[in-house]
Chains A and B, each alone.
Chain A
Amino acid sequence: MEILMSITVGVLFMVATYLMLSRSIFRIVMGLVIISHGAHLLILTMGGLQNGMPPLLGQEAANYTDPLPQALILTAIVISFGLTAFVLVLAYRTYDAHKTDDLDQLRGTSDE
């Protein structure tokens, strides 16, 4: 399963990078969202996707899945969410100020 998930994460990063290399501000924001999904899934994969029980001690099982990556991912999700919200508003304001979402037109003059 880990191998499959690693490949999936790779696909996520591939698509996200492609989106971030685009000219449209909003595709870039989409790319940011996807890349954070990729990172989160990767953390989970690195912890091992064992077939233990969910990390709830009430289950009284022999084997638990690794709780630490889950905690890390939770923190990461929140941080990514904050970032996404901010970037989205930033993108919107940039579009609003410059009236275009094409980054090629937003290069700035070479001396500026």
Chain B
Amino acid sequence: MNSLVILPVLLPFLIGAVLILLAKKHQAQRVITSLTVLSMLAASVILAVDVYQNGIATMEMGDWPAPFGIVFVADMFATMMVILSSIVGVVCLFFAFSTISTEREKFYFYPFYLFLLAGVNGAFLTGDLFNMFVFFEVMLLASYVLIVMGGTKYQLRESFKYVVINVFASMLFLIGVAYIYGALGTLNMADMAVRIEETGQTGILNVIAILLLIVFASKGALFPLYFWLPKSYYGPPSAIAALFGGLLTKVGIYAIIRLFTLVFNHDIGFTHNIILALAGFTMFFGVLGAVSQFDFKRILSYHIISQVGYMVMGLGIFTPLALAGAIYYIAHHIIVKSALFLFSGATESITGTTDLKKMGGILKTHPLLAWMFFITAVSLAGIPPLSGFFSKFPLILSGMQEGRYIITAVALLVGLLTLFSMLKIFIYAFWGEQKHTDEQAAKKIGPILLPIVPMVLLTIILGFAAEPIFSYSYGIAEELLEPSIYINSVLGE
């Protein structure tokens, strides 16, 4: 079963490379890419089940022992993330089939799509910090191309800012790796954990920890490093925005959680309190951004920021319940966020715009779309019995239990404001008088809606079937809070 670990990276990488040669053949590209992402999904599920039953699976590249060679570590957390990325990969791809123009398809859209997924999965699975840097660069560069592909004036302008900020952060990542190597002499994360245990997390190690926190916080769009996000997701087509909105920031969050549970877990009074403070500010300023906007896609972009705050809130509180809530929340958010961006694409295909003030009355002409959106939006705001509630609830509960009243209050308040901003979309776009033409009203959006259906079903299932999902998350949390499990799997007894 060891080779299964590399599949989520290998499949998209290789097939993507092959697809470069088939750039002119749309049908072939579509079929091959669909098969690839579906196999990726299957592989990730099998892997996750295997890891759940048999414990952490590792794979040493080239059979060189860790910590000298690069090792892939598939623990429960990583495999869950890989499943989620595969789900989003499948759904956004099928949505893209109905919405992407053929010109994009000619210009290597599918290879870039697959390379992005390869980078994401690699970042989740690798156990080596420099290797993570390289995977991040793969993912980021693919994202740079996808976000600017098409070259409209808006895209060029905003993508330039997006790229520069990200490159700056990447350079900080690189020097962070340099510092770690300078201080500890290793690149393998498990080995770092062992060495820090020996030396104690003193002095400069805390500074490096904060630096790495900053790096991943900028990738994850936490306060105050999120400036690259709000305007950039507006440019690319919805399928891409959905892919980004669901996945890209989560890789940064994954890295923070991984580092601060495995490696830098010794001085939580300091590090995790900073994380908690960042979480609070992120939640708050993110939702204020959403409240201020009157455009469908922009509101969703700001919500991404707001909600990564919740994920790190769980990390900051640092109890099994809190961490379980954070993990559950990640799963919920990835699904719901991607779905919402896809809905914005669906409504744009009907009305021709994402400006809320120009939209209205979609409930009358496309009720199925409206209700699917409503369920998803309400889930985002945390209304039970959907996934949003059951993922926020452990966070609230642990916040109260640990005496973190301020952040809990902020979390509840932000939830209310989230509801307010999602209601705004519903009020303008779906309720109200019909503002689009009858010709637009007659448009059939079956093939566009179909890929979103599984996401809506998932948010319902993740709510009603909260028990198995929560115990799975709790299991992940316990594994994370017991780093020796990870370390032993990698470095041997």
Contacts and interface: CB of A to CB of B under 8 A. Distances in A.
Contact of B164 (A32, A47, A75, A79): A32
A98 to B, nearest CB: 6
B75 interface: no
A87 interface: yes
Interface residues of B, number: 31
Contact of B156 (A28, A35, A45, A93): A93
Contacts, number: 81
A20 B164 contact: yes
Contacts of B154: 108, 112
Interface in A71-112: 72, 75-76, 79, 82-83, 86-87, 90-91, 93-94, 97-98, 106, 108, 111-112
Nearest to A93: B156
Consensus secondary structure, chain A interface: helix
Contacts of B153: 97-98
A76 B177 CA distance: 11
Contacts of B168: 20, 35
B102 to A, nearest CB: 22
Nearest to B298: A111
Given A39-B175, A76-B174, A91 B160 contact: yes
A76 B136 CA distance: 12
Contact of A39 (B134, B156, B171, B187): B171
Interface stretch (B16-24, B178-186, B437-445): B178-186
Contacts of A106: 157, 160
A28 B221 CA distance: 22
A90 B148 contact: yes
A90 B156 contact: yes
Contacts of A86: 141, 144-145, 163
A46 B182 contact: yes
A55 to B, nearest CB: 15
Contact of A25 (B141, B144, B160, B177): B160
Contacts of A83: 137, 141, 167, 170
Interface residues of A, number: 33
B386 to A, nearest CB: 32
Interface of B: 130, 134, 137, 141, 144-145, 148, 151, 153-154, 156-160, 163-164, 167-168, 170-171, 174-175, 177-179, 181-182, 187, 231, 294
Interface of A: 20, 25, 28, 32, 35-36, 38-39, 42-43, 45-47, 68-69, 72, 75-76, 79, 82-83, 86-87, 90-91, 93-94, 97-98, 106, 108, 111-112
